[in-house]
Amino acid sequence: MLMSGLTMPNYASAKGADEKYINEYVPNAGLVGKGMFSYYFWDVYTGELYASGGEYANEPPFALRLTYQRELEGKQIAQRSIDEMKKQGGLSADNAEKWLSLMARIFPDVSEGDVITGIATESGTSVFYVNGSKADEINDEVFTQRFFDIWLSDKTSEPKFRKKLLGK
């Protein structure tokens, strides 16, 4: 997989419609890093990581906003998320099945410009917004850790994209 994109400076605030709900969960939210995720020759999404004061501490609260650059089916997004969790190891069949069902319900089909924002709350809940409207939440600390590890763990399949999100 190929990646491209630029790291943005720290302390840019969460702007626009996202600002209100990101700041509701992430006090003093600031941009940690930003990058474009590409698959072969296709730009898939721009990722932006927000944390308090623009400093990611590897623990909630934080928000990850993905702005899609192409059409994808929601069920593809959910399945790819499970596949990435499996690559990192330790995902039980029961959790994979349960989480796939939950994500397939939450994630809509997306088109260019659509935004899905995932927020890891201090309590370990994952809260999802789609184009500025709350879609759902998953109150499962293990899910929250595993879901955001797709991008933020040192076990990610996309270490260059991770570095961009972390502002490095």
Bigger pLDDT: 4 vs 89:
89
Q: For 70-105, what is each residue's pLDDT tens digit?
A: 999 999 999 999 999 999 999 999 999 999 999 999
**Mean per-residue pLDDT for 22-29?**
95
Residue 121 has pLDDT above 90, yes or no: yes
What is the dihedral sign for C-alpha 123, 79, 40, 132? negative
User: What pTM value is reported for the model?
Assistant: 0.88
Structural domain 3-161, CATH architecture: 3-Layer(bba) Sandwich (3.50)
Residue 10 has pLDDT above 50, yes or no: no
Domain ranges, ordered by start, for the chain: 3-161
Q: How far apart are the first and last CA of the chain?
A: 19
- Confidence at residue 134, expressed as pLDDT on a 0 to 100 scale: 95
